Structure 1
Amino acid sequence: MVASFVTHRALDGGTYRLEGDLDLRAPCTSAVEVVVGGRLVEFTAGPATLGDDVASSLSLGAPDSELTFQKGTLRVYESIEREPRSGLVERPLLVVWRGERHALVTRLYGLSVTEVLGLLRSVGIAESEYGLTLQPRRSAGSAFTQPATVIKEVPDLGLLELSRRTKEHSAQLPPWKGVAVASGELFRDTLSDGSPFFVLSSTEIWATVVPLASTSVERVPEAVGRLKLRLTG
């Protein structure tokens, strides 16, 4: 396969360039948690169809509110959820911002549409050709809780998750020495259910690889060795 490359932007502004003779055509998603005025909110960004896909998976019809917001279209879907045992009723909002190429999704509880607008203004949304970026305003009490992740499925490799490396990541490294590859040091470990996974660590990037059912686990190190990762922003 001829070497190819792709660039993805995480919600915290981190820009990842992936290059190698692997199939890198699949889109990615990015997720991050933001504290907004004491409220913890998880945002997920992806292709422009992401919001429609999530609304469909929740069996939601047309949005209850739709307006132009921060150079995109904001749609708010209202729903009712009832907890079977307690009978507790909640009315979560599915909030979808859609730009030219990308969409941002979150679910919020106990807020009105007006309060949703205020929350989104405090985090800021910017779109580029590589993805969406949030810009939390500390003056409004908004801040990232940790680096954003980029998640992408790569055939012959598995589910790849990327983020900036932190001190917490370094503390999670196994005590044994990993295998040197083009983009860092590769470690093999097992999940709680016994399934294998891999950790790729460099000075800037922390990546995990979970092999797919169709992936040959023994061939993952060779595939990772053909992948070059670079953090450019």
Structure 2
Amino acid sequence: MAPSAAVEHRALDGIAYRLAADLDLSRPATSVVEVVADGRLYELTAGPAALAEAVAASLGVTAFDSELAFQGGTLRTATTSEYDAQAQQVENPTLVVWQGRRFSLVTRLYRAALTDVLLLLRTLGIAEHDDGITLTPDASAGTRLARPATVVKEVPTLGLVEMGRPTREHTVQLPPWQGASVPSGELFRDTLSDGRPFFVLSGSAVWATIVPLADTTADRVPALVDGLDLRAVG
């Protein structure tokens, strides 16, 4: 019997992931990627339009310092003051939000003026699609992705699913024995440092981790994954 629900989410590196299962797949997803620009490492997160508002609210930002049209969307910045107890100094990070029609992109920069924000974002090649935001870094400007982007999605009764392209770093972590065979690859069970179980789904084109949440019965996860069709589709 075909799965009753299917959804696609696009990662920031352009890869789209399709999930199909008899599960609640209605919740939004976020994508995270690390970018190297001018020798510095930056982390960017994309998600639904409400993500930008949620991040701003969590930081106590009620108004932005600047707002301008940028690469087909709206760019807003807000600089706040925070005390870094470890460094014993006050930092002034800048919240950077790019808002499209349906999705938003968020990052924080330190010791950065608006001109620095624009210089960075101009090299990222921001584009919005029906299933998410993508970045196409300008290699000639010295900007590149540090590693493949990931997509994170909460699936009720299954858990928190993080998916991305498999890398050598991933494959060397696998145990020498074969995992349980499921439609999307091999499923392995392991334990977090706090003793909680988690699962790794290793496929030819997708690597995913599944962390059970409060509504998850860990022993049921293998059966749920057996009914999950997870694949990279573009």
**Range class of TM-score, shorter chain:** over 0.9
2:231 partner letter: R
Residue in 2 that maps onto 1:147 = 148
**Contact persistence 2:190–2:198 (CA under 8 A):** yes
How has the CA–CA distance of structure 1 residues 86 and 154 changed in structure 2, closer, same or farther, with 3 Å as cutoff? closer
Residue in 2 that maps onto 1:112 = 113
Residue in 1 that maps onto 2:74 = 73
**Contact persistence 1:22–1:226 (CA under 8 A):** no
Corresponding residue SS for 1:160: strand
**Contact persistence 1:64–1:76 (CA under 8 A):** yes
CA deviation vs aligned residue, 1:45-80 (integer Å, no higher than 9, x gap): 000111110010011111000110000000101101
Residue 86 of structure 1: how far off its partner (Å): 5.4
Structure 2 residue 49 is the aligned partner of structure 1 residue 45: no
Residue in 1 that maps onto 2:32 = 31
Structure 2 residue 170 is the aligned partner of structure 1 residue 169: yes
Residue in 2 that maps onto 1:96 = 97
Residue 90 of structure 1: how far off its partner (Å): 1.2
Residue in 1 that maps onto 2:180 = 179
2:201 partner letter: L
Structure 2 residue 189 is the aligned partner of structure 1 residue 188: yes
Residue in 1 that maps onto 2:217 = 216
Corresponding residue SS for 1:123: coil
Distance of 2:86 and 2:126 partners within structure 1: 39
The CA RMSD measured in Å over matched residues stands at 1.2
How has the CA–CA distance of structure 1 residues 100 and 169 changed in structure 2, closer, same or farther, with 3 Å as cutoff? same
1:103 partner letter: S
Instruction: Tell me how many residue pairs correspond in the alignment.
Output: 233
Corresponding residue SS for 2:64: coil
1:69 partner letter: F
Residue 85 of structure 1: how far off its partner (Å): 6.3
CA deviation vs aligned residue, 1:165-224 (integer Å, no higher than 9, x gap): 111111011222210011110000001111100000011100000000221000000011
Corresponding residue SS for 1:136: coil
Question: TM-score, with normalisation over the residues of structure 1?
Answer: 0.97
CA deviation vs aligned residue, 1:112-157 (integer Å, no higher than 9, x gap): 1011001000111000000000110100100011100000000110
Distance of 1:228 and 1:2 partners within structure 2: 8
1:44 partner letter: T
Corresponding residue SS for 2:52: helix
Corresponding residue SS for 2:26: coil
- Runs of 4+ in structure 1 deviating by more than 6 angstroms, as ranges, are none
- Please list every run of 5 or more consecutive structure 1 residues that lacks an aligned counterpart in the other structure: none
Corresponding residue SS for 1:218: helix
Residue in 1 that maps onto 2:4 = 3
**Contact persistence 1:47–1:102 (CA under 8 A):** yes
**Contact persistence 1:15–1:232 (CA under 8 A):** yes
- Identity among equivalent positions (%) equals 58
- Please list every run of 5 or more consecutive structure 2 residues that lacks an aligned counterpart in the other structure: none
- More off after superposition, 66-75 vs 170-179: 170-179
Corresponding residue SS for 2:13: coil
